[in-house]
Chains A and B, each alone.
Chain A
Amino acid sequence: DARVTQTPRHKVTEMGQEVTMRCQPILGHNTVFWYRQTMMQGLELLAYFRNRAPLDDSGMPKDRFSAEMPDATLATLKIQPSEPRDSAVYFCASGDGRSYEQYFGPGTRLTVT
């Protein structure tokens, strides 16, 4: 049963600390998306990769957020320094690039105090 996995599932940290979230896309998928979900803003696209190259990161605050794909099986989203307004659920999704389907992971719930 192929699934997108995300770690950690929950993270509580203090303002100013660095946070790294990890995502393992479904094996064979070449597109990876990072989303952020809050009650106020809903689900927002932060960044989008194809074949490990960033295609669009216009939704991401550039000064503190960074997203990378060190290899085809790992995507990372880093926040440095973190702020209380970054508190949200961060989702990773992957797709095969040939269809419209995106498969979401279970998310990382981040709380910044």
Chain B
Amino acid sequence: TQLLEQSPQFLSIQEGENLTVYCNSSSVFSSLQWYRQEPGEGPVLLVTVVTGGEVKKLKRLTFQFGDARKDSSLHITAAQPGDTGLYLCAGDTSGTYKYIFGTGTRLKVLA
């Protein structure tokens, strides 16, 4: 049973465009993380959100945790080819750092 659904699954956009990736669940999470993974490498943590309604910014990336702590979004402003990769959300329902990963969004930014 997949607890975390991400959408879209695939996204191909031109450099300079904006995009939003969604992570949804019916479960409540004590914390939620976003990762980026490039081919042949392990996922790299981008951010952790723990408070409902929380918004965090990392340069051109904006992360939001839903008020009910069941969903999250990642918004990228003015995407660049270096943003290309697999974006994964991961949620912890038990507060024990045991994270369940989402289905992933493959982003390709064309120059």
Contacts and interface: CB of A to CB of B under 8 A. Distances in A.
Contact of A106 (B40, B101, B104): B40
Contacts of B10: none
Contacts, number: 53
A90 to B, nearest CB: 10
Contacts of B103: 42
A44 interface: yes
Contact of B45 (A43, A97, A103): A103
Contact of A100 (B31, B41, B101): B31
B42 A106 contact: yes
Contacts of B26: none
A44 B48 contact: no
Is the interface on chain B under 10, 10 to 19, 20 to 34, or 35 or more residues? 20 to 34
B103 to A, nearest CB: 6
A45 B43 contact: no
A34 interface: no
B31 A55 contact: no
B40 A44 contact: no
B48 A104 contact: no
Interface string A27-67: 00001000100000011110010000001100000000000
Interface of A: 4, 31, 35, 42-45, 48, 55-56, 91, 93, 95, 97, 99-107
